């Protein structure tokens, strides 16, 4: 009886010693799952990583994951591309007003041609606007800033055409580099400014709004040519009337 009891106790102890295998195998399974998760997380995107973690939690907690795409499923997540709005063509600003300036230039060209003024009046279309250049001989006597009566006809024609557009007008006086030698003006700056003001007042007298008018005297500091000949100095003595583009 004692031998049977001892044999039973030994078999029972041997059976108890093998019980540790179950948690050990569970631990190995968890470690394997952890290594798989770490390896997978190193090469997948964020959404797939979150899905793997959900699957891993499901295995640990025993809950069922409803999404069939979670875990290590090879099917990539669908990328939804947002359609870009169509690029709208940019229309030129103030296109209509540019057309009006082009028409003004054509009318000024026709007037210059008709009255044979090419020697004293020139015209060009610039980034600033339509620029009319009048040599000083058509407007002033030497060293003076009072308009000659003979200039009124040309100025009246220019004023009439300027009234066909609402654009601002810049009147700019220029001289050569010969020092002024009279008591009325102490420098070419003052002479060029006084001449620009005279034209401005004439335009205002002919009912061009003073709000459209501005003047500048540049003196000798913006010449067209070098002041090395009589012809070049005469070309540098001028008044520019610029119909400015609206910005």
Of 51-65, 154-168, 184-198, the least confident? 51-65
The answer to whether residues 53 and 114 belong to one domain is no
Question: Average pLDDT, stretch 112-135?
Answer: 92
Residues 229, 154, single domain; the answer is yes
Q: Are residues 160 and 225 in the same domain?
A: yes
Q: Specify if 121 maps to a domain.
A: yes
103 shares its domain with 209: yes
Residue 122 lies in a domain: yes
The tally of domains found in the chain comes to 2
For residue 119, what pLDDT band results from cuts at 50, 70 and 90? confident
pLDDT of residue 44: 53
Distance, in Å, from the CA atom of 216 to the CA atom of 197, rounded to the nearest integer, reads 8
Segment 214-237 shows an average pLDDT of 96
pLDDT of residue 19: 64
The mean pLDDT of 123-136, rounded to a whole number, is 94
Does some domain include residue 102? yes
- Tell me: do 47 and 99 sit in the same domain: no
pLDDT in tens, 47-71: 666 766 676 666 555 555 455 444 4
Q: What percent of the chain has pLDDT over 70?
A: 66
Residue 81 falls inside a structural domain: no
Give the CATH number for residue 121. Answer: 3.30.1330.60
Cβ-proximal residues to 238 (8 Å cutoff; 6+ apart), any chain: 133, 134, 135, 136, 174, 224
Q: Give the model's pLDDT for residue 124.
A: 92
Q: What is the pLDDT of residues 4-41, one digit of tens each?
A: 555 555 555 555 566 666 677 777 787 777 777 777 66
d(CA 51, CA 54) in angstroms, rounded, equals: 5
Confidence of residue 224 (pLDDT cuts 50, 70, 90): very high
Share of the chain above pLDDT 90, in %: 49
Residues 29 and 136 in one domain: no
Residues 127 and 215 in one domain: yes
- The pLDDT mean for the chain works out to 80
**Is residue 47 assigned to a domain?**
yes
Q: Indicate the residue among 38, 61, 84 that finishes a domain.
A: 61
* Token pair belonging to 19: 């019980």
Indicate whether 88 pLDDT > 60: no
Quote the CA–CA distance of 66 and 89 in Å, as a whole number.
49
Which of 61, 85, 107 represents a domain boundary (last residue)? 61
Average pLDDT over residues 181-185: 87
pLDDT over 50 (residue 91):
no
Question: Which pLDDT does position 73 carry in this prediction?
Answer: 42
The answer as to whether 83 is a domain residue is no
Q: Is residue 237 part of a domain?
A: yes
130 and 200, same structural domain?
Answer: yes
Based on the fold, state whether residues 104 and 15 are members of the same structural domain: no
Q: Residue 127: is its pLDDT beyond 50?
A: yes
74 in any annotated domain: no
Structural domain span for residue 41: 2-61
Which of the four pLDDT bands, split at 50, 70 and 90, describes residue 81?
Answer: low
Same domain for 49 and 170? no
Residues 21 and 137 in one domain: no
Same domain, yes or no, for 111 and 157? yes
Bigger pLDDT: 134 or 183?
A: 134
């Amino acid at each position: 009886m004692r031998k049977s009891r001892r044999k039973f106790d030994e078999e029972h102890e041997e059976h108890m010693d093998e019980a540790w295998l179950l948690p050990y195998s569970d631990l190995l399974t968890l470690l394997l799952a952890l290594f798989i998760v770490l390896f997978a997380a190193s090469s997948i995107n964020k959404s797939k990583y979150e899905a793997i973690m959900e699957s891993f939690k499901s295995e640990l907690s025993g809950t069922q994951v409803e999404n069939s795409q979670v875990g290590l499923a090879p099917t990539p997540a669908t990328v939804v591309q947002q359609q870009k709005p169509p690029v709208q063509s940019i229309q030129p600003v103030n296109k209509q007003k540019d057309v009006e300036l082009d028409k003004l230039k054509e009318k000024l060209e026709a007037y210059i041609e008709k009255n044979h003024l090419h020697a004293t009046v020139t015209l060009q279309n610039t980034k600033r606007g339509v620029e009319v250049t009048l040599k000083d001989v058509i407007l002033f006597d030497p060293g003076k800033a009072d308009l000659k009566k003979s200039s009124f006809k040309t100025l009246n024609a220019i004023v009439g055409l300027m009234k066909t557009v609402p654009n601002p007008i810049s009147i700019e006086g220029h001289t050569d580099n010969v020092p002024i030698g009279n008591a009325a003006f102490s420098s070419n700056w003052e002479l060029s400014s006084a001449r620009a003001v005279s034209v401005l007042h004439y335009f205002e007298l002919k009912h061009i709004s003073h709000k459209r008018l501005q003047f500048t005297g540049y003196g000798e500091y913006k010449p067209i040519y070098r002041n090395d000949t009589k012809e070049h100095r005469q070309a540098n003595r001028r008044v520019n009337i610029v119909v400015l583009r609206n910005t």
